[in-house]
């Protein structure tokens, strides 16, 4: 799974866990990650204080009487070719408050050459749009797509990708040697096994990116073999399925 979606998911689960338990704990960051949250101004010239860690961000949300929080991702076909690049996908965190207001936090990732790491700047905006946060047919569609795209990968001669899709299917359906690793249970302790499997299967099957990804050589081979239309349809179905699976896992 790309780093942006993973971080968004972990932040939403972090806030949900605190809301459920009442205990504010540290948010685990990778060595290359830094966070900054920039709240929306109340007035044009009012001063805002940036929150430079997840704990202080949660305290801000708590002060505003946060009622619910959701991961939101938008499934646009054109995003597939750029899914592995930073700042290329429309997604964010929706926060709902007791006063009826709703805002959207959108991240912009910037690479810092000095520290050789990334800072994610989350900026808050008014949220007027509605969105689905869970999808009823998500699991069934995901299973079917994984089976179909595994078959396509074998037809194209990419057994490495076929193996990835098979492993994702096994995780999703509890088949084969698909036990959930302890690190996953530790990182997401409040997810049910079903939701955790959804998340892990989506993470495994997220093969979109640049060189060496499913977007690279398989597309050219599909064109040469007259399977371009099938490749494009199943790639889009996989992209949508993985995003819906992550939203169901995190928001469910």
Q: How many CB atoms lie within 10 A of CB 229?
A: 10
CA atoms within 13 A on the CB side of 223: 6
The answer to whether residue 131 sits within a structural domain is no
Neighbour-count burial of 208, counting CB atoms closer than 10 A to its CB (0-12 exposed, 13-18 middle, 19+ buried): buried
pLDDT of 187 reads 83
Q: Which residues pair with 119 in a beta bridge?
A: 34, 110
Domain end (from 80, 102, 126): 126
Same domain (yes/no): 45, 160: no
Domain count along the chain: 2
What value does the mean pLDDT take over residues 63-92?
A: 79
Same domain (yes/no): 108, 165: no
Same domain (yes/no): 147, 181: yes
Domain end (from 63, 91, 126): 126
What value does the mean pLDDT take over residues 154-183?
A: 88
Domain end (from 126, 149, 176): 126
Same domain (yes/no): 230, 119: no
Same domain (yes/no): 98, 158: no
The band of 87, judged by pLDDT with boundaries at 50, 70 and 90, is low
The answer to whether residue 176 sits within a structural domain is yes
Task: Report pTM.
Answer: 0.89
Same domain (yes/no): 144, 111: no
How far is the C-alpha of 78 from the C-alpha of 65, rounded, in Å? 37
What value does the mean pLDDT take over residues 44-68?
A: 87
Query: What's the mean pLDDT when you consider all of the chain?
Result: 88
Same domain (yes/no): 143, 47: no
Same domain (yes/no): 178, 217: yes
pLDDT above 70: residue 44: no
pLDDT above 70: residue 76: no
Token output for 172: 């999703």
CA atoms within 13 A on the CB side of 63: 7
pLDDT above 80: residue 14: yes
Residue 199 or 112, more confident: 199
What value does the mean pLDDT take over residues 168-186?
A: 81
pLDDT of 186 reads 81
What value does the mean pLDDT take over residues 65-82?
A: 81
Same domain (yes/no): 179, 247: yes
Gyration radius of the chain over CA positions: 19
| Strands ordered across the beta sheet of 33-38 | 33-38, 117-126, 102-112, 91-97, 66-73
Same domain (yes/no): 54, 148: no
Bin 133: left if φ > 0, else alpha if -120 < ψ < 50, else beta: alpha
Judge contact between 12 and 134, C-beta under 8 A: no
CA atoms within 13 A on the CB side of 152: 26
Structural domain of residue 150, as residue ranges?
138-251
Same domain (yes/no): 226, 149: yes
Same domain (yes/no): 10, 107: yes
End-to-end CA distance of the chain: 19
Least confidently predicted of 12-16, 133-137, 217-221: 133-137
């Amino acid at each position: 799974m790309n780093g942006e979606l993973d971080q968004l998911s972990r932040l939403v689960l972090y806030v949900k866990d605190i809301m459920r338990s009442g205990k504010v704990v540290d948010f685990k960051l990778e060595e290359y990650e830094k966070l900054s949250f920039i709240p929306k101004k109340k007035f044009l010239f009012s001063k805002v204080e940036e929150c430079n860690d997840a704990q202080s961000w949660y305290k801000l949300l708590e002060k505003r009487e946060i009622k619910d929080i959701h991961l939101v991702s938008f499934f646009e076909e054109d995003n597939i070719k750029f899914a592995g690049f930073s700042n290329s996908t429309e997604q964010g965190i929706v926060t709902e408050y007791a006063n009826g207001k709703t805002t959207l936090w959108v991240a912009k990732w910037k690479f810092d050459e000095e520290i050789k790491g990334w800072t994610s700047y989350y900026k808050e905006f008014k949220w007027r749009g509605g969105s689905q946060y869970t999808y009823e047919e998500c699991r069934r569609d995901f299973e079917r797509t994984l089976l179909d795209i595994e078959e396509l990968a074998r037809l194209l001669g990419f057994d490495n990708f076929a193996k990835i899709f098979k492993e994702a299917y096994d995780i999703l359906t509890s088949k084969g040697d698909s036990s959930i690793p302890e690190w996953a249970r530790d990182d997401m302790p409040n997810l049910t096994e079903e939701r955790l499997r959804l998340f892990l299967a989506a993470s495994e099957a997220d093969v979109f990116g640049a060189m060496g990804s499913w977007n690279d050589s398989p597309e050219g081979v599909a064109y040469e073999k007259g399977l371009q239309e099938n490749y494009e349809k199943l790639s889009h179905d996989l992209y949508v399925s993985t995003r819906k699976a992550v939203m169901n896992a995190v928001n469910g």
